[in-house]
Structure 1
Amino acid sequence: MLHWLWNLASFVVVLGVLVTFHELGHYWVARRLGVRVQRFSVGFGRPLFKHVARDGVEWVIAAIPLGGYVKMLDEREAPVPAEWRDQAFNRQTLWKRMAIVAAGPVANLVLAVVLFWGAFVLGIPGVRPVVGEVVPGSIADKAGLQVADEVKTVGDRPVKSWTRFSLLIVEHVGESEELPVTVVRHGETVSLQLPLAEGGPLGENQSPLEWLGIKPWQPRPAPLVGQIEKNSAAERAGLKPGDKIVAIDGQEVRIWDDIGEYLVGKAGKSVTISIIRDGKEMTLVAEPGHNKRFPDKGYLGIAPKLDQQWREAVAKLRTVERFDIGEAIPRAIDRTWEILALSWKGLVKLLTGHLPISNLSGPVGIAQGAGQSAAVGPAYFLNFMALISVSLAFINLLPIPLLDGGHLLFYFVELVRRRPVSETAQMMAMKLGLLFMFAMFVLALFNDLNRLG
Structure 2
Amino acid sequence: MIEAPGIPLTLLAFVLVIGPLVFIHELGHYLAGRWFGVKADVFSIGFGREVAGFTDKRGTRWKFGWMPLGGYVKFAGDMNPASQPSSEWLALPAGEREQTFQAKPLWQRAIIVAAGPVANFVLAIVILGIFAASFGVDRSPAVVGVIEPGSAAARAGLERGDRIVSLGGRGMDEFSDIATFTKIRPGERVSMEVARGAETRRLDLTIGKVTERDRFGNSYEVGRIGIGPGARVIERVGILEAPLVGIRQTVRIVSFTFETLGQIITGRRSVKELGGPLKIAQVSGQSLALGPLELVTLIALISINLGFINLLPVPVLDGGHLLLYAIEAVRRRPVEPQVVEWAFRGGMAVILALMIFVTLNDLGSFGVWKNLAGLIG
TM-score (norm 1): 0.64
Inter-CA distance 171–213: structure 2 relative to 1 (3 Å threshold): closer
**Alpha-carbon deviation of 1:130?**
9.9
**Is the contact made by 2:207 and 2:225 (CA closer than 8 Å) also made in structure 1?**
no
1:285-316 per-position Cα deviation (integer Å, ceiling 9, x unaligned):
xxxxxxxxxxxxxxxxxxxxxxxxxxxxxxxx
Give, in whole Å, the separation in 1 of the partners of 2:290 and 2:209: 31
Is this contact kept in 1: 2:172–2:178, CA < 8 A?
A: no
Partner residue of 2:9 out of 3, 6, 12: 6
Aligned to 1:337: 251
Post-superposition offset of 1:7: 2.0
Q: What runs of 5+ residues in structure 2 fail to find an aligned partner?
A: 81-87, 212-218, 368-377
Residue 420 of structure 1 deviates from its aligned partner by 1.0
Following superposition, the deviation at residue 432 of structure 1 comes to 1.2
Correspondence for 1:353 = 267
User: Which among 382, 385, 402 is matched to residue 296 of structure 2?
Assistant: 382
Structure 2 counterparts to residues 27-176 of structure 1, below 5 A = 27-74=30-77, 76-77=79-80, 78-79=88-89, 81-82=92-93, 83-123=95-135, 136=150, 139-144=152-157, 155-159=171-175, 166-170=179-183
Q: Within 1, Cα distance between the matches of 2:227 and 2:14?
A: 30
Structure 1 unpaired stretches of 5+:
183-190, 217-317
Q: What is aligned with 2:310?
A: 396
In structure 1, the partner of 2:320 is 406
Q: 2:68 and 2:155 mapped to 1: Cα distance?
A: 48
Alignment of 1:408-423 (within 5 A): 408-423=322-337
Query: 1:35 touches 1:88 (CA, 8 Å); kept in 2?
Result: yes
- 2:184 and 2:260 in contact (8 A); partners too: yes
Identify if the C-alpha distance between structure 1 residues 180 and 393 changes in structure 2 by more than 3 Å, giving closer, same or farther: farther
1:409/1:119 CA distance change after superposition, 3 Å: same
Partner of 1:178: 191
Q: 1:387 to 1:171 in 2, by over 3 A?
A: same
- How many angstroms does 1:345 deviate by? 2.0
Deviation at 1:322, TM superposition (A): 6.7
SS in 1 for 2:53: strand
- Aligned partners of 2:49, 2:55: CA distance in 1, in Å? 16
Question: Which residue does 1:250 correspond to in 2?
Answer: none
> Cα–Cα, structure 1 residues 213 and 332, in superposed 2: closer, same or farther, change >3 Å?
closer
User: C-alpha distance in 2, partners of 1:427/1:361?
Assistant: 29
CA distance in 1, matches of 2:110, 2:134: 37
Alignment of 1:412-451 (within 5 A): 412-451=326-365
- 2:284 paired with 1:370: yes
- Residue 15 of structure 1 and its aligned partner are, at CA, apart by 0.7
Structure 1 Cα separation of the partners of residues 123 and 281 of structure 2: 20
Residue 311 of structure 2 contacts residue 317 of structure 2 at CA under 8 Å; is this kept in 1? Answer: yes
What's the offset of the Cα at 1:329? Answer: 2.4
After superposition, what is the alpha-carbon deviation per residue over 1:98-142, rounded to whole angstroms, capped at 9, x for unaligned? 11101101111111101112333443999x9998966x5x64442
Q: Distance in 1 between matches of 2:233 and 2:289?
A: 17
Q: Give the direction of change, closer, same or farther, for the CA distance of 1:122–1:192 in structure 2 (3 Å limit).
A: farther
Label 1:22 to 1:62 Cα distance change in 2 as closer, same or farther (>3 A): same
Return the alpha-carbon distance in structure 2 between the equivalents of residues 448 and 165 of structure 1. Answer: 30
Q: Secondary structure at the match of 2:333?
A: coil
2:98 is paired with a residue whose SS is: helix
Quick check: 2:147–2:154 contact (8 Å CA) kept in 1? no
Q: Answer yes or no: is the 8 Å Cα contact 1:47–1:60 preserved in 2.
A: yes
Q: TM-score, normalised by structure 2?
A: 0.76
Question: In the alignment, what sits opposite 2:214?
Answer: none
Matched-pair contact (CA < 8 Å) for 1:374–1:381: yes
- Identical aligned pairs, as a percentage? 37
| In structure 1, C-alpha distance between the alignment counterparts of 2:297 and 2:247, rounded to whole Å | 13
Aligned residues: 336
The SS at the match of 2:54 is strand
Contact 2:146/2:227 (8 A) holds in 1: yes
Which protein has the larger Cα radius of gyration, Structure 1 or Structure 2?
A: 1
Shift, 1:4, TM fit: 2.5
1:166 to partner: Cα distance: 5.0
C-alpha distance in 1 between matches for 2:345 and 2:266 = 26
Task: Note the C-alpha offset of 1:421.
Answer: 1.1
Report the secondary structure of 2:6's partner residue: helix
**1:102–1:404 Cα contact (<8 Å) kept:** yes
